[in-house]
Amino acid sequence: MLADESFQVSKPAPREVMMTRSFDAPPRLVFEAMTKPEYIRRWYGPHGFTVTHCETDLRVGGAYRIVQRAPDGSEFGFRGVHREIIVPTRRVYTWVFEPMPDKEAVITETFEDLGGQTAFVARILFATQEDRDGYLSTGASEGGALAYERLDEVLKTMTA
């Protein structure tokens, strides 16, 4: 069982995954922690994973790339392009797991202000239902939940 029970995963449509989570920080800080390399390096991936490369051009049309290293030394790269950015309430971008470059997804994130807290929603739209189901079968949603736990730790240092 995950430490934070506010994390939920659902399949609202045949090609879609929706992840929701609450954070005890305002949207401005959550957005910043999710988009600035100095923070991404500290939380992206489950416990025990490290980020070996992180760059982002946070503007519409700007690219990003993140490489994480697992405890066994294997590395995984992710990349994409920002399509829409409304600081601090919405971000839309493509997402590609580099070993599967033909499986691009589009992620729409929203950050709702709940009076100092943030209701975060990530909607991931895949090209096919098979792509969605393949994503879920890898344990990616569990990894995301663990990464968001690490993000919580980073947010505490930002608000302190």
Q: What CATH number has the domain bearing residue 24?
A: 3.30.530.20
Within-domain flag for 1: no
Taking only the tens place, the pLDDT of each residue in 30-47 is 999 999 999 999 999 999
Tokens of 13: 């449509």
Within-domain flag for 23: yes
Within-domain flag for 75: yes
% of the chain at pLDDT higher than 70: 97
Count: domains in the chain: 1
CA–CA distance, 105 with 103 (Å, rounded to integer): 6
Within-domain flag for 3: no
- Residue 123's DSSP bridge partners are 18, 108
Cα dihedral 121/95/133/8 (nearest 10) = -20
| Positive or negative torsion for Cα 20, 12, 124, 10 | positive
Distance of CA 71 to the CA centre of its chain: 20
Could you list the residue range(s) of the whole structural domain that residue 23 is in? 8-159
Within-domain flag for 2: no
pLDDT at residue 45, rounded to an integer: 92
Q: Looking at per-residue confidence, does 128 or 141 come out higher? A: 128
